[in-house]
Amino acid sequence: MRTRDYRLVGKLFELLEGRRSLGPVVRALQEELRREDEEVDRLLRGLEARRDGSRTPGCAGDAQADARPPLAEVVPHPGTAADYTRAFAAAVESAPGVAARVEAERERAAADLERLLDERNPAQRERLIRRSRKGMRSPLLVEGLLEKACAVRGASPRLALELTEAAQQVARRVLLRDGGREAKLRLVNRADAHRANALRVLGELPAADAAWRRLTHRRLRHRVELPDEEAEILSLEASLRIDLRQFEAAETLLDRAERLYRLVGETVGAARALLKRGSAAFYAGEPERAVERFEKALELVAPAAEPVLFFMINDNLADALVDLGRPAEATSTLAVHPELFGRVEDLTVRLRRRWIEGRIARAEERFDDAQRLFAEVRNGWLIHQRPYEAALATLDAAELHFARGNWREVKRQAALLEPIFAARGVHREARAALILFQQAAKAETLTADLLARLRRYLLLARNDPSFRFEPAPATPAG
C-alpha cells in the first residue's frame, strides 16, 4: 500500500467519525471517484485479475475475501451508471482491521524515522537498519526519509544524500517482503532517483549521471511506475540534464513529465515541470521561450494555495522580461498579489524579489536604487551561505559601475569577492573565473563582453566542478 493509499484510508475514517449514517460519506466519496473513472477502471480490472487466481498466497484477509462477491458485481466498471454504495459498505465492514494495521505501521515507521534522524553517523544509521529484525522495512519509513531529505537538501546537501541512501536501504528491505512486488519496485526506483538527485546537488555529476543510467536501464526492463511517479522521476533527471547543459534532453524529459502530471490531474506537478522547462530555456539563452513556459505555469497555480510556487514562477517570469528589455512589464508582473507576497516567509524568495527589483532599477537607469538593492541582496546571500548568488549580485553591481565608467567602484566590487572565495561549495573553476574578473578590474581591462560571459558562466556552473570558464569565444582553426 502506497503512502497516498494510507492517507485515503485515513480520510475515510475522518468522514465516518461521528456519523451514524453511511449515506453522506458514500456520496462524498462517490463524487471524487466519478472524477477519476479511468483510474478506478484500471485499478478494478487489476483487482479482478487477482481475484481470479493471481492473488499472492499468505496475504492477510484472503479467507474473508473468498466469501465476498466478485468486484464486478459490487462495483460496475465506469461507463455505466456506476453505484459505489455496496463497495463502500463492504470497505467499511472490513475497515476496523485495516485501520488498526495502518495505525500500527504508521507508529512503527514514525519511531524508526526518529531513531534514524537522531543518529548522526551514517555508518551507524546503516547498521541500525541492517540489524533491525522487525522494523526498518516500511514504505512509510522510505517516504519519511525522502521527505526529510528534500526538506534539508538546500541547507545540508550531504545530509540529504545520507538520508536518501538510508531510504534506498530500507526500500530494498521492503522489496524482500511478501507480495506486491511491483509497488515495492516502484518504491526502490523512487529512492534511487532521489539519491541520484542528491548526488547532483552535491556537485558529483559523473556519479549522478551513472546512477541515472543504472536506474533508467532497470526501468526500461520493468515498467512499473504509475504516471505521477514516472513524472517525478523524469523531472528529477531533467535537473541533472540542465546542470550538464543538455538542454534538449531536459526539454524532452520535462515535456513528458508535464503531460503525465496533466493526465492524472496533478496541476501543481505540471506547473513545476513547466517552471523547470522555463528555467532550462532561460539558461539556454532563450528568454522568449522561458516567458511562454512561465506564463503557462502560472495558469496552473492558485496563488493562495501554493504561494511560494506561484511567486517562484512569477518572479522567474519577471526576470526573463528584464532580460528581454521589458522592465515595465517586469514591474507589473511583480506587482500582483502584494498582500499575499507580504505573508511569504521563504527568505530566498524574498531575496530574489529584491534582486529582480535591482535589475529593473538598473534597466530604468535608477542607478542609486540599483546599487542599494544589489548590495542588500549580496549581503543577504552571504548570510544564507549562497556564494554563487552573492557572486552574481556582485557582478551585477560591478556592471552597473562599469557602464558609468566608475573604475574605482568596479575595483571595490571586485575586492568584495574575497569572502566568496573562502565560502564552502565554490569549486576551483568558479574561483578561477572570479580571480580573472578581479585581475581585469584591477588592470582596468574589463569589458562588457567579459562581464556578460562571467555572469552566464556562474548561472550554469554551480553544480558542475568540471565546467571551465572560457574568457573569450573559441575561434575556429585555420
Residue 191, in any domain of the structure: no
176 CB neighbour count, 10 Å cutoff: 8
pLDDT, position 210: 95
* Burial 86-103, CB ≥16 within 10 A → b, else e: ebbeeeeeebeebeeebe
Q: What is the pLDDT of residues 145-188, one digit of tens each?
A: 999 999 999 889 999 999 999 999 999 998 887 667 888 899 99
Q: SS3 of 335, please?
A: coil
pLDDT, position 94: 65
pLDDT, position 465: 87
Which among 46, 74, 102 is the end of a domain?
102
Residue 406, in any domain of the structure: yes
Residue 439, in any domain of the structure: yes
Q: In angstroms, what is the C-alpha Rg of the chain? A: 27
Instruction: Decide: 83 and 33 in contact? Cβ < 8 Å.
Output: no
Picking from 125, 211, 139, 230, the residue whose alpha carbon sits closest to that of residue 176 is 139
Residues of the chain with pLDDT under 70: 1-95, 98, 178-179, 472-478
Q: What is the pLDDT of residues 366-415, one digit of tens each?
A: 999 999 999 999 999 998 888 899 999 999 999 999 999 999 999 999 99
Residue 372, in any domain of the structure: no
Measure the CA angle with vertex 47, ends 45 and 51; round to 5°. 115
Chain-centroid distance of CA 349 in Å reads 16
Residue 25, in any domain of the structure: yes
Residue 68, in any domain of the structure: yes
Q: Is the dihedral of CA 60, 63, 68, 71 positive or negative?
A: positive
Which among 40, 70, 102 is the end of a domain?
102
235: cell is 523531472
Q: Which residues contact 287 (CB under 8 A, 6 or more apart)?
A: 281, 320, 321, 323, 324
Tally the domains of the chain.
2
Residue 51, in any domain of the structure: yes
Q: The whole model's pTM is what?
A: 0.76
pLDDT, position 223: 84
Which among 82, 102, 122 is the end of a domain?
102
pLDDT, position 464: 87
Instruction: Decide: 260 and 234 in contact? Cβ < 8 Å.
Output: yes
Length of the chain: 478
Residue 270, in any domain of the structure: no
Residue 399 domain boundaries: 395-461
326: cell is 521589458
Picking from 410, 311, 398, 332, the residue whose alpha carbon sits closest to that of residue 362 is 398
